[in-house]
Amino acid sequence: MFIHFPFRRRWLSIVVIFALWLNCLFIFTSCNPANFKTQAAQVSQWVTTTLSDPKTFNYAFNQEYPHVFLFTAEGLTTLDGMTGKIEPALAESWEISNDKKLITFTLREGLKWSDGEPLTADDVIFTYQDIIFNPKIPTDWKDGLKVGSSGAFPKIRKIDNRRVEFTFPEPFSPFLYTTSGGSTSTVGILPKHALEASLKSQDANGNPQFLSTWGTGTDPAKIIVNGPYKIESYLPSQRVVFRRNPYYWRKDSQGNQLPYTERIVWQIIESTDTMILQFRSGGLDTVTVSPGNFSLLKREEERGKFTIYNGGPEFQTYFISFNLNKGRRQNGQPVIDPIKSRWFNTLAFRQAVAHAINRKAILTNIFRGIGILHDSSIYYQSPFYTRPSKDVKIYDYNPEKAKELLLNAGFKYNTRNQLLDADGNLVRFTLITNVENKTRVTIGAQIKQDLSKIGIQVDFNPITFNTLTDKLSNTLDSECYLLGFKGGPEPHDGANVWLPDGGLHTFNQKPQSGQEPLIGREVSDWEAEIGRLYIKAAQEFDEAKRKEIYAETQRISQEYLPLIYLVNPLSLAAVRDRLQNVKFSALGSQEGALWNKYEIKVAE
């Protein structure tokens, strides 16, 4: 192209093009996590990843997993990832009264926040009394702490600077688990000195300023924490950087301050394919292994100097769920098109859909056999899990059975084998999932194909995770969604899903505090019964009896199918061999890889 330019102009063009090339090279290399590692080589660090930006830096409002609080927050207790037992954390000990209605915690001596301020019983009182028990604060932590059919909260009392006392109206066996921090619904202690003023002041609408405090736009230096790491910096769509908390309470057996590693870099990579590429190129130290990339990574394990860990079935399962909400908005507009709502609320319709989904094909073709079929509201590795029996329905792939159920329920087929309801309406609905998760997108495509075989037209629409959660929690206008809930061994961890007023009761969501109330929302008998059984199980300290109660919740949920379970994948992660002291567990954070992050050492 340069033949059209005089020599001087041609030379100038070459210089400009070269400068542009250098600029592009700088841009691309500066975004590469491997380059970030090189720049920070003077401190020990490891680099991990997540699919999307954090939604909040205020633990009280967290509704996602994974989240920044896995690194920054702790509760009174913690969950040992190897044994599944409740262990001391901020509290060094606790005592339970003989009648199981009184629990007294004793905090460790000398606890401090990340800014050096003392952490005392006042912070515990503040977290529970002023935040969780405050009717003006819409936190999902409430759901796990409602006691009995009345939904009353325990009473909390300060004994002295290191001791707090919780009094319950009746025995409440899940309480120690709810204090363990880390998961979406377990409580982490928040700093009174940093947040109290935001509770006392109000915004223009008369709401506590706390509702908008510590959003992701907050200067990280102002986020005060008690966990092993504090937030050093956050660049949206790029990374969150965590720095070692110098005041963290843990020490090793030789008295050395923990955590060992100075910095953790949490890369935000909105594609699982890109995650794998960056891990293979050395840009990441850990990555979740999916069935789709297991074989590839396994072949590279030795050469890439990493290990693939297997923790068994995850405490997570894939499912689809229909919106069963019959309510109307204040303007009279129904939450769901009444025609579709009638389909979704017809039990035979949900059971037909369950029979029409080829779950074995999903397990074989999408998960490459790396997982198990799931048929329970209780996770497989939980001690409260009961294997399905003749009393628990299992929905094997059976399209003919699905058609029979639909015909008996009044549906019919036209000459093109399209399913119509009794009024002649074409059966068609929208299925959504988060586009960032390629496994879910692939599952959704198969479900669309499977249901077409029984005449149902599915409009499959993968959307961003933020948009999806807004539909489920705020606008409530989803018809059917494909997702997964993350939990733990304690079934009450899912109370916010199964209690009819729970914050994650997404199949029939009640608007939360501050949202416009619905007119005519109905809670079905079976729905209420599951909630009642969760309350009953929480009153029981005998594990065998609790297991019997949760077995009944499994039976009901499989009979009525508020969630249609699909597959429970294995907990797999690839971890660089340079990371030492890894104790892999399906119970841990980072998809089971690094629950003991404070003990991780980085080899030189």
Q: What is the pLDDT of residues 261-285, one digit of tens each?
A: 999 999 999 888 899 999 999 999 9
Q: Is residue 215 part of a domain?
A: yes
Q: Tell me, yes or no, whether 334 and 229 share the same domain.
A: no
Could you tell me what percent of the chain has a pLDDT over 90? 73
Q: Tell me, yes or no, whether 371 and 489 share the same domain.
A: yes
Q: Is residue 354 part of a domain?
A: yes
Residue bearing the bigger pLDDT, 350 or 5: 350
Q: Tell me, yes or no, whether 373 and 451 share the same domain.
A: yes
**436 pLDDT more than 90:** no
Question: pLDDT tens digits for 296-334?
Answer: 999 999 999 999 999 889 888 899 999 999 999 999 999
Q: Is residue 417 part of a domain?
A: yes
- Boundary residue ending a domain (243, 258, 273): 258
CATH number at residue 477: 3.10.105.10
- Write down the mean pLDDT value for the chain: 89
Q: Tell me, yes or no, whether 450 and 558 share the same domain.
A: yes
Number of domains in the chain: 2
Q: Tell me, yes or no, whether 497 and 369 share the same domain.
A: yes
Residue bearing the bigger pLDDT, 491 or 37: 491
Interval 585-604 mean pLDDT:
80
Contact between 183 and 489 under an 8 Å Cβ cutoff? The reply is no
What does the pLDDT read at residue 271? 86
What does the pLDDT read at residue 112? 98
Interval 577-583 mean pLDDT:
94
Which range (179-183, 363-367, 421-425) has the least confidence? Answer: 179-183
Question: pLDDT tens digits for 41-72?
Answer: 568 999 999 988 999 999 999 988 889 999 99
**591 pLDDT more than 60:** no
CA distances from 382 to 70, 104, 295 (A): 21, 27, 28
Q: Tell me, yes or no, whether 334 and 207 share the same domain.
A: no
- Its domain, for residue 444, covers 316-568
Q: Is residue 48 part of a domain?
A: no
Write out the DSSP string of 282-329.
Answer: TS-SEEEPPHHHHHHHHHHTTTTTEEEEEEEE-SEEEEEEE-----B-
Q: Tell me, yes or no, whether 240 and 330 share the same domain.
A: no
Q: Name the CA dihedral angle for 46, 48, 53, 56, rounded to a multiple of 10 degrees.
A: -60
Rounded to the nearest 10 degrees, the angle between the axes of helix 291-300 and helix 272-280 is 0
CATH number at residue 152: 3.40.190.10
Interval 456-461 mean pLDDT:
98
**23 pLDDT more than 50:** no
Q: Is residue 209 part of a domain?
A: yes
Q: Is residue 521 part of a domain?
A: yes
Question: pLDDT tens digits for 523-539?
Answer: 999 999 999 999 999 99
**91 pLDDT more than 70:** yes
Q: Is residue 117 part of a domain?
A: yes
Helices and strands counted in the chain (H then E): 18, 23
Q: Tell me, yes or no, whether 347 and 471 share the same domain.
A: yes
CA distances from 186 to 5, 179, 242, 251, 256 (A): 69, 6, 21, 24, 28
Q: Is residue 95 part of a domain?
A: yes
Which range (81-95, 216-230, 485-499, 539-553) has the least confidence? Answer: 485-499
